[in-house]
Amino acid sequence: MMRKRFLLTGEVGMFTEANEQFSWMRIEQTTKLLDRILRLGGKPYLCGEDLTVADLLVYFEYTNLLLYERAYPQLKYVKLWAERMEAVPEVASVMKEFLAALPAKRAALMSLRPPQPKL
C-alpha cells in the first residue's frame, strides 16, 4: 500500500488520487478473490479443515482494512472465515490489543499523509 511505502521510504510523490484509487481497486479485487477461494474450497480455512500459517498471514493482511476503515460485508465467505479466525483464542488476544491501539495508530498514520495538491 502507498502509505506503507511512504512510511518505509519517505517518498511523498506517490500520493496521487489515481494511485490511491488503483490501490483500493486492487485490494477489493484481492478480497473478492479470497472470498471465491473460500467458497470454492468449501473448507473452514484456506488450506483445509485446520488453521495454518497461511490463514494467519492472510488474516494479518486482512486486518489492515480496519486501519483504513474499509470493510467488504457483502463477501460472505470472507466474513465467516474472519469470524472463525477471531474465535481462535490466540488470535482473539492479539486482536484485542490491536483494536485497543487502533485509534492511535489510525491517527498517527493519517497525520503522515501529505496534503493533497491544489489544482
Tell me the C-alpha distance between 30 and 53, whole Å: 19
Q: What pLDDT, on a 0 to 100 scale, did the predictor assign at position 104? A: 85
119 residues of the chain, pLDDT tens digit each: 555 555 555 555 555 667 778 888 888 898 899 999 999 999 999 999 999 999 999 998 888 887 777 777 788 999 999 999 999 999 999 999 988 988 888 787 777 665 555 55
Question: Which residue type, as a one-letter code, is found at position 3?
Answer: R
- DSSP character string of 57-105: HHHHHHHHHHHTT---TT-HHHHHHHHHHHHSHHHHHHHHHHHHHHHHH
**pLDDT on residue 91:** 94
Domains observed in the chain = 2-111 (1.20.1050)
